[in-house]
Amino acid sequence: MRIEDATDADVPEIVAIYNDVIATSTAVFSDQPVTVESRREWLRAHRARGQPVIVARVDGTVAGFASYGEFRPWPGYSTTVEHSVHIAAAWRRQGIGGRLVRELLERARKDGKHVMVAGIDAENHASLRLHEQLGFRPVGRLAQVARKFDRWVDLALLQLEL
């Protein structure tokens, strides 16, 4: 498995992974599938801002992707980033999510960032465990701030000082 910067050619596979997560879980608080064109624009915007979008490639297939972007859009928050990570269902629990987040942590350190924030659906035990294992600590829980599948969902906030 190799971790690499995402290319335009990876976008359809990224979209397939992301839309499956949207359709099957509360890990993303949307019920609208994304389009290849909108994700191309998202990739372009990340590149233009120097924010990484990385993929885990196994035998030429994108098994997962991860990225970080700004936490909040005011200058005082510029050394804090918020990230996300998604692994294709067939490739979960094989260490790929951990590898991708470790790479993001490395890149954020090199980029002079100070804190990485994870906002995780409070019922997403896999992601909570993954992040705690990597050194993120729980710092809060926002009750019922999101709604999906006709119910309220809490958002757990975790952070790691880089």
Give the residues lining the site for ligand COA (CB under 6 A). Answer: 21, 25, 27, 84-87, 92-98, 120, 124-127, 129-130, 133
Of 87 and 116, the one with the shorter C-beta distance to ligand COA is 87
Residue 75 CB, nearest approach to ligand COA (Å):
26
Of 127 and 159, the one with the shorter C-beta distance to ligand COA is 127
Residue 43 CB, nearest approach to ligand COA (Å):
18
CA dihedral 36, 42, 47, 53 (to 10 degrees): -80
Residue 94 CB, nearest approach to ligand COA (Å):
5
E strand intervals along the chain: 2-5, 53-58, 61-70, 80-87, 115-121, 137-148, 151-161
Q: Give residues with Cβ within 8 angstroms of 70, minimum separation 6.
A: 49, 51, 77, 78, 80, 81, 82
Residue 61 in contact with residue 94, Cβ under 8 Å?
A: no
Residue 58 CB, nearest approach to ligand COA (Å):
12
Of 1 and 107, the one with the shorter C-beta distance to ligand COA is 1
CA dihedral 38, 122, 80, 6 (to 10 degrees): -40
Residue 144 CB, nearest approach to ligand COA (Å):
18
Of 74 and 144, the one with the shorter C-beta distance to ligand COA is 144
Of 104 and 162, the one with the shorter C-beta distance to ligand COA is 104
The structure tokens listed for 119 are 């906002």
